[in-house]
Structure 1
Amino acid sequence: MTNNKPIRRGALSRGLSLSIAGARAGGAFAFDSALRKLRGEEAGNSERLDREAQRFARSLGELKGSYVKIGQLFALLGEHFLPAPLTAALHQLESQAQPLPWRHVEPLLRDSLGSRYKELQIESDALAAASLAQVHRAQVIATKEMVVVKVQYPDLAAMLDEDFDAVVKMLRLARWIPISRDFDSWLQTLRAQLHAEIDYPREMAVAQQLASALPKYDSLTVDGVSLVVPNFWPRYSGSRWLTMDYVSGFQAGSSEVAALPQARRNALGRLMLELFFVEVFELGLMQSDPNFGNYLISAEGDQLTLLDFGSVMSLEKSVQQALCDTIVAGHCNDDAALLSGLQRLGCLKDDAGSHAQQTFRNFVVNLLEPLRPPSELPPEFLNQSGDYCWGRSALLNRTGRHVAKSVTSRQFTIPSGDFALVARKLTGVFTFIAVLNAEFNAYDVIAPYLNRKAPVKKRSRQRT
């Protein structure tokens, strides 16, 4: 089967497939626009454009490896300013990763581990597979401890920039992304994110940093539910492979988690939100990939385990401060401070028109809806006890529709890459909570930060 073939190599064979897909899609895009102009219609999505977007996504899926990851990143971070057919098609890549056969993986591990390979009993069937690596469960023979070994796909690092450039070239050929300095900056953020995710020594260092820092925050234990960072094994880790403790559990959208008591799901949701505020306001380290596969919930629902640290981004101090100011200003309806924060984040130019200013203001304010004081929450989304029902609120759909109607304006400025990552993180957190069908008011989560003008150290507070 083609799904079990090694990742294709070579710029010619890989780039050619994308160039063909790009040319076809570019023709479809131009054809669709011309027809609608003749009809006097607004820009829209024809069936042909949908088909060509699907064709392009399939081309990425067939090439595998970094091409799939690049497509996933574009889908996650570009959904507010890339054509809807393209993002819809690229989102399908999130469930298409297939593992390489053991015969291709086993030699890599033998060469990498050397004599240490015999210290592990590694299962040949992959436990999980992603676009850049796959995971195998193993046992440390001497201690009987269970671990997982993440193996990076061969030659990935050498091809990453070349593959990224090929996808960008195709998207521009298809007229799906603009040629502008603003967008070039956004693309550089994506490129840096890709490189961070294959830097395994950095991933292990970040995980160890978080394992040391997170227990210091009392807010990260909520009604008996705590965070867990798995232990890493430096002896069995290197530049292209990484070993950590094996942790069992379920993803947020599973039936097992849905069956947990309401109070436990509420605590899990609050914990996820508390983690976001600690990451942004205090640590300046933020896990930017909201994929449910990056979190595991224990069978009892009393532990939330963090799994992926390759996508943890380090916020520059200026970006961290601007982001904190933007969140606080948006919550407090301080339009002047909000405008300043958005300008410092690179979302708005100094001479941005009123429409662009209002678009970003509304996006931030609407997104922060669940954090309002209880008396200001929309009553239609509250339960009988006055708690906000995250799943029923359909918050992200409402916010997304507003942005989609606004980004076609000529005044709209492409948001900075940092803002796109943070916005995606926050929407991912809210999606996580909504999928849990959690019911709680979140004002007391943001309240301790409202009077703070700069990132702070450890905070402690009692919850009544």
Structure 2
Amino acid sequence: MRERGRRRRLLGLGARTGGAMIRSRLGGQADWRTLGEALFEGLSELKGPAMKLAQFMAQWDDLLPPDLADELARLQCQAEPMPWPRIREVLVAQYGELDRLFTDIETAPFASASMGQVHRATTREGVRVVLKVQYPGLPEVLESDLAQVRYMMRLGRWLKVPQVRLDALFEELAQSLRGELDYHAEARALARYRRRYADRDWLVIPEPLESLCGPHVLAMRHVAGTPLRELEVASDDLRQRLAMHLADWLTEELFTHGELHADPHAGNFASDAEGRLIVYDLGAVIPVPPARLKAMLALLDAALDQDPMAMDTALRRLGGRQGEGAPLALYRESAEAIAPLFASGPQDFSDVRVHRRLRELSPRVWAAMDRLQPPADTLLLSRTLNGHYWNLVRLGARLDMHERSRPLLKWARSD
């Protein structure tokens, strides 16, 4: 009965979303604010894959209608927590009698998200820890939810997205979500990243506590910090230092280790009292092959050269851009929109003129989707990079992207 009710609610939310998309596609008016409120309320309660998908969408706030983007963004930090008794069931199933291991577990979550929530605790040895607890029954409902998500993704046909591309996008999403349920894999990722960056005194990766980790609970040593989303009022010096750390870390991740932290919402990053960058969550790490990096940099190179034909060629080589009639004017305007960020010298990521221009282009991007067809196997990577970009925007970063990109573009041009 519960599964049928969940399915009905997901289908109802999907129908409302589809109706708004269809009205917008046909030139009508869609009430995006009301839709966003309904999605927030419904998905916050249901959690799971559909909520995760909405969180992904929230990071495309340069493409989504502003009212919808604002409401979906609330899912990043205001999701309704699951009641403590149900969370306690998961803890007891893993540990048995809790008093045997812990002197205290906070019943109010430190953070709640789509696939689990975090509670602070103290061990019998006096170690302060955080317990990332997977929502009960989530593995059982995952495949059912994914089936509903696949159904809702059929709405992409209204944007003239071929079914084969929708299927590829779904498989990438499904693989990512299934991977997030593997807490043993996340514990290994935390340990790997701690070894990898042991000599970076500006980066903090929490220590997994192997003896307390299990299939549905991930235990880490507690690292106190101020979440990135709360740093907008911090000093400019601190924000610039964190922005530099974040940019340096992402560059090393991609171009030295061929990996990328793929869950970039602001709650996963923080600053400690010493101004170091903390990375809390490594549940989603994706490999990034050098060939894919070079192909994406070729597209950036063409955009910086203001060369629409080269942009079209690069997008085709990436596996995108179907059909006839390259949208050259759209390429040209997109290249002009991002050009200020790559001008010589430090550029302000919080410059609203850039964001306003990208947002103004978004209706034309959707209208040209039947020809653009971004490659499905790079969508997660593109969404991730976009999310990290918006974290830099939140920090008000001033970075010299011209200087940073020069050696990377040179590397991409090499054989």
Q: Which TM bucket (shorter chain)?
A: 0.7 to 0.9
Residue identity opposite 1:404 in structure 2 = P
| Structure 1 position 336, deviation (Å) | 6.5
Does residue 1:313 correspond to 2:313, yes or no? Answer: no
Q: Please tell me the root mean square deviation across aligned C-alpha atoms, in Å.
A: 3.4
2:351 is equivalent to residue 392 of structure 1: yes
Q: Secondary structure of the residue that 1:407 maps to in structure 2?
A: helix
Could you tell me how far 1:65 is from its partner in structure 2? 3.5
Corresponding position: 1:208 with 2:187 = no
Match of 1:353 among 310, 321, 325: 325
Match of 1:230 among 206, 216, 222: 206
Supply the distance in 2 between the matched residues of 1:395 and 1:423 (Cα, whole angstroms). Answer: 18
1:195 is matched with: 178
2:32 is the counterpart of 1:45: no
Matched AA of 1:286: L
Q: AA paired with 1:269?
A: A
Q: Which residue, out of 186, 209, 234, partners 1:259?
A: 234
- Corresponding letter in the other structure for 1:43: G
Asked if structure 2 preserves the Cα contact closer than 8 Å seen for 1:396 and 1:427, the reply is no
State the partner residue of 1:55. Answer: 38
Which deviates more from structure 2 when the two are superposed, residues 165-174 or residues 94-103?
165-174
- Distance in 2 (alpha carbons) for counterparts of 1:92 and 1:227: 27
Q: Report Cα offsets for 1:245-288 as digits up to 9, x if no partner.
A: 21111123425x6332x333222212212222222222221112
Given the alignment, which residue of 284, 295, 318 partners 2:258? 284
Please give the residue correspondences for 1:438-457 in structure 2 after superposition, counting only pairs within 5 Å: 438-453=397-412
Q: Write the mapping of 1:136-175 to structure 2, written as runs, cut at 5 A.
A: 136-142=119-125, 144-170=126-152, 172=154
Partner of 2:385: 426
Distance 1:364 1:147, change over 3 A: farther
Shift of 1:292: 0.9
Change (3 A) 1:360 1:88: farther
> What is the CA-CA distance between 1:232 and the residue it aligns to?
1.0
In the TM superposition, residue 418 of structure 1 has moved relative to its aligned partner by 4.2
Contact 1:190/1:417 (8 A) holds in 2: no
- Once the two structures are superposed, residues 310-336 of structure 1 have per-residue CA deviations (whole angstroms, 9 ceiling, x without a partner) of 122122454234234434454455666
Name the structure 2 match of 1:460.
none
Give the fraction of aligned pairs with identical amino acids, expressed as a percent: 27
Mapped partners of 1:197, 1:163: distance in 2: 15
The question of whether the paired residues in 1 share the 8 Å contact of 2:206 and 2:221 is answered with: yes
Query: For the residues of structure 2 that align with 1:305 and 1:197, how far apart are their CA atoms?
Result: 20
How far does residue 204 in structure 1 lie from its aligned partner after superposition?
A: 1.8
Closer, same or farther in 2 for the Cα pair 1:280/1:455, shift >3 Å?
farther
Contact 1:136 1:148 in 2 (8 A): yes
1:134-169 Cα deviation digits (max 9, x unpaired): 111122322x22111101001111211211221342
Q: Which moved more, 1:130-139 or 1:207-216?
A: 207-216
Structure 1 contact 61–93 (Cα < 8 Å) conserved:
yes
The structure whose Rg is larger is 1
Seen in structure 2, the aligned counterparts of structure 1 residues 149 and 52 have a Cα distance that, compared at 3 Å, is: closer
In structure 1, distance between residues paired with 2:308 and 2:155: 39
Q: CA deviation digits over 1:164-194, x for unaligned, max 9? A: 2213424647986756222222222222221
Match of 1:119 among 85, 95, 101: 101
SS in 1 for 2:227: coil
1:440 and 1:203, CA in 2 relative to 1: closer, same or farther beyond 3 A?
A: same
Mapped contact 1:288–1:313 kept (Cα < 8 A): yes
Answer yes or no: is the 8 Å Cα contact 2:165–2:376 preserved in 1. no
Amino acid at match of 2:76: E
1:67 and 2:50 are equivalent in the alignment: yes
In the alignment, the residues of structure 1 paired with residue 142 and residue 274 of structure 2 have an alpha-carbon distance, to the nearest angstrom, of 40
Distance 1:441 1:318, change over 3 A: closer
Q: Per-residue deviation at 1:300?
A: 3.9
Q: Is the 8 A contact 2:341 2:348 kept in 1?
A: no
Give the Cα–Cα distance (whole angstroms) in 2 for the partners of residues 145 and 92 of structure 1: 32
For 1:19, the equivalent position in structure 2 comes to: 11
Structure 2 counterpart of 1:243: 219
Contact 1:66 1:156 in 2 (8 A): no
AA aligned to 1:45 is Q
| Rounded Cα–Cα distance in structure 2 between residues aligned with 1:190 and 1:336 | 31
Q: Which moved more, 1:431-440 or 1:290-299?
A: 431-440
Query: How many matched pairs?
Result: 413
Amino acid at match of 1:193: S
Where does residue 99 of structure 1 map in the other structure? 81
One-letter code of the match for 2:136?
P
Shift in CA distance, 202/326, structure 1 to aligned 2, threshold 3 Å: farther
**Gap regions ≥5 residues in structure 1:** 1-8, 37-41, 375-386, 457-464
Q: Secondary structure at the match of 1:412?
A: helix
Does the 8 A contact of 2:270 with 2:277 survive in 1?
yes
Secondary structure at the counterpart of residue 128 of structure 2: strand
8 A contact 1:66–1:131 mirrored in 2: yes
Equivalence for 1:381: none
1:321, 1:455 within 8 Å by CA — same for their partners in 2?
Answer: no
> For the Cα contact (< 8 Å) 1:65–1:131, is it kept in 2?
yes
In the alignment, structure 2 segments of 5+ residues that lack a partner are none
Find the aligned partners of 1:211 and 1:57 in 2 and give their Cα distance: 35
